[in-house]
């Protein structure tokens, strides 16, 4: 038996390969791969055909910074004054979490991700194998961070355990699960921990994922303690040498920082909703982009957002860029969409496989139902996606050529059961 062939016919295709290019046509999928986009060959005989005449077809979304299982703490302690106060409320709860708790929460998180059009997420948390298991069960992609906290001794203990736990999930994922090294932040990790994380990433050719310059307090404290900005502090330690990195937030960068970052193999994961919710600030992403820095989008965890809705992130990212610059043209809708698709794929080193609709790439794509009052008339589809589209408009989601959601129905996932398990899990945690 040959590979499954799927035809999406007569869709409005946004390939995300050239600015503002869209066209009506067909998409052919054979096995994992896109075999045509536009006019298909007459001899392509599909096993499954989807009428795309009312759909926008676009690349699936890439969430480059989240703590997926923190959905357990959604809508909890939302009135904290700032990041540090909020962490003071969250850390005691996290200390109670078990692998089973995180598996339950991750299962809920992958459902929310799929319903939001996300097929790839970059995670930093504990019990990494549990989150990888949830991604595998759902059939989506994940970059799982081997999270480091504290001093060097603590970090070595974590790394003695974590890679062994996650290996099974990586091996059975058909390339959908990859791994990063993830020192949490400069205010929770020692310099030796960062060096250890860098060396591990370099030795195993892994991505390094960390929080950086998220708040003014972090920025000011680093200068007071080290006489350097957070970026320069890590750079001078050699943390970016020879590896690829994703830096979450980067709300506070000096002009010198921006010039330096543009020379590195590093991407920013911009988290606009979380930065607003925790009063962290507004990252000047238009300036970063114009300086040649690859800017991608993340949701952060659902306890500081409080969802995994990348359409909301695109909308808020665009509005904040406009209001902070005083220029409605600071970042076009197309540029914002790039951040949620191909820029995210580039950040994770996956841009040869996903992020655009092109022949030869793996078929990670979403179909958006345009027969909605808030999408009528459609006019500019790029503007529509950033300013009008809701996650609930997503009809179907493909990952690696397979449908993981069709006609809004999750395939192979029992939402009601997982929802009940999550509520029971949270009730139990509060009693511990």
User: Which domains are assigned to the chain?
Assistant: 5-59+355-410 (2.30.40.10), 61-348 (3.20.20.140)
pTM of the model: 0.97
Kindly report, residue by residue over 286-309, the tens digit of the pLDDT: 999 999 999 999 999 999 999 999
User: Worst-scoring range by mean pLDDT, 8-12, 20-24, 42-46?
Assistant: 42-46
Work out the burial of residue 354: count CB atoms within 10 Å of its CB; fewer than 13 is exposed, 13-18 middle, 19 or more buried.
buried
Structure tokens, 88: 């003071």
| Averaged confidence pLDDT in the chain | 97
User: Worst-scoring range by mean pLDDT, 32-36, 245-249, 325-329?
Assistant: 325-329
Q: Report the pLDDT value the prediction gives residue 325, as an integer from 0 to 100.
A: 96
Q: What's the CA dihedral at 56, 343, 33, 243 to 10 degrees?
A: -170
Residue 164 has pLDDT above 90, yes or no: no
Cβ partners under 8 Å of residue 320, min gap 6: 272, 276, 282
Mean pLDDT, residues 339-361: 99
For strand 409-410 and strand 402-406, is the pairing parallel, antiparallel, or unpaired?
antiparallel
Kindly report, residue by residue over 43-88, the tens digit of the pLDDT: 999 999 999 999 999 999 999 999 999 999 999 989 888 999 988 9
Handedness of CA 250, 256, 259, 262 (dihedral sign): negative
Task: Region of 354 please: left (phi>0), alpha (psi -120 to 50) or beta.
Answer: beta
Residues in the chain: 432
Question: How many distinct helices (H) and strands (E) make up the chain?
Answer: 15, 17
8 A C-beta contact, residue 94 and residue 126? yes
**What percentage of residues in the chain have a pLDDT greater than 90?**
93
Handedness of CA 416, 370, 286, 340 (dihedral sign): positive
Which is nearest to 123 in space by CA: 140, 137, 21, 115?
Answer: 140
Residue 1 has pLDDT above 70, yes or no: no
Query: Rg for the chain (alpha carbons), in Å?
Result: 21
Confidence class for position 158, pLDDT limits 50, 70, 90:
confident
- Classify each residue of 220-254 as buried b or exposed e, where b means 16 or more C-beta atoms within 10 Å of its C-beta: eebeeeeeebbbbbbbebebbeebbbbbbbbbbbe
Mean pLDDT, residues 262-282: 98
Place of tokens 């536009």: 38
Sheet of 294-297: strand order equals 61-66, 118-125, 141-148, 177-183, 207-212, 245-249, 266-270, 294-297
Integer Cα distance of 33 and 66 in angstroms: 27
Element (H, E) at 324: helix 310-325
Mean pLDDT, residues 194-208: 98
Residue 4 has pLDDT above 80, yes or no: yes
Element (H, E) at 196: helix 191-204
8 A C-beta contact, residue 398 and residue 404? yes
Task: Region of 304 please: left (phi>0), alpha (psi -120 to 50) or beta.
Answer: alpha
β-bridge mates for residue 13, sequence order: 23, 57
């Amino acid at each position: 038996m040959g590979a499954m062939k799927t035809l999406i016919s007569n869709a409005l295709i946004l390939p995300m390969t050239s600015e503002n290019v869209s066209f009506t046509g067909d998409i052919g999928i054979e096995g994992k791969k896109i075999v045509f986009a536009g006019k298909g060959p007459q001899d392509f005989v599909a096993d499954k055909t989807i009428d795309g005449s009312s759909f926008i077809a676009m690349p699936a979304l890439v969430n480059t910074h989240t703590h997926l299982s923190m959905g357990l703490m959604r809508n909890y302690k939302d009135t904290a004054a700032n990041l540090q106060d909020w962490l003071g409320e969250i850390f005691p709860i996290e200390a109670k979490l078990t692998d089973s708790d995180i598996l339950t929460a991750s299962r809920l998180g992958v459902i929310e991700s799929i319903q939001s059009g996300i097929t790839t997420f970059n995670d930093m948390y504990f019990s990494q194998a549990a989150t990888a298991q949830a991604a595998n069960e759902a059939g989506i992609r994940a970059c799982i961070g081997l999270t480091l906290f504290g001093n060097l001794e603590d970090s070595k203990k974590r790394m003695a355990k974590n890679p062994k736990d996650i290996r099974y999930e990586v091996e059975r994922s058909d390339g959908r699960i990859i791994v990063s090294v993830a020192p949490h932040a400069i205010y929770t990790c020692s310099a030796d921990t960062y060096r250890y994380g860098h060396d591990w990433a370099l030795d195993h050719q892994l991505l390094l994922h960390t929080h950086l310059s998220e708040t003014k307090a972090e920025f000011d404290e680093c200068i007071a303690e080290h006489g350097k900005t957070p970026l320069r502090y890590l750079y001078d330690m050699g943390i970016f040498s020879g590896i690829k990195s994703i830096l979450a937030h980067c709300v506070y960068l000096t002009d010198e920082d921006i010039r330096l970052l543009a020379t590195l193999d590093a991407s920013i994961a911009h988290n606009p909703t979380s930065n607003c919710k925790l009063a962290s600030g507004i990252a000047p992403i238009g300036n970063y982009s114009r300086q040649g820095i690859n800017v991608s989008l993340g949701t952060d965890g659902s306890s500081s957002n409080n969802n995994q809705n990348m359409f909301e992130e695109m909308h808020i990212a665009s509005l904040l860029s406009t209001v902070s610059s005083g220029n409605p043209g600071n970042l076009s809708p197309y540029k914002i969409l790039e951040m949620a698709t191909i820029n995210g794929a580039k950040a994770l080193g996956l841009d040869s496989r996903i992020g655009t609709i092109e022949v030869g790439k793996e078929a990670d794509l979403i179909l958006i139902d345009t027969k909605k009052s808030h999408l009528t008339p459609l006019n500019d589809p790029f503007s529509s996606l950033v300013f009008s589209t809701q996650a609930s408009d997503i009809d179907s989601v493909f990952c690696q050529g397979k449908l993981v959601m069709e006609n809004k129905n999750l395939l192979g996932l029992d939402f009601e059961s997982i929802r009940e398990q999550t509520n029971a899990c949270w009730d139990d945690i509060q009693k511990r």
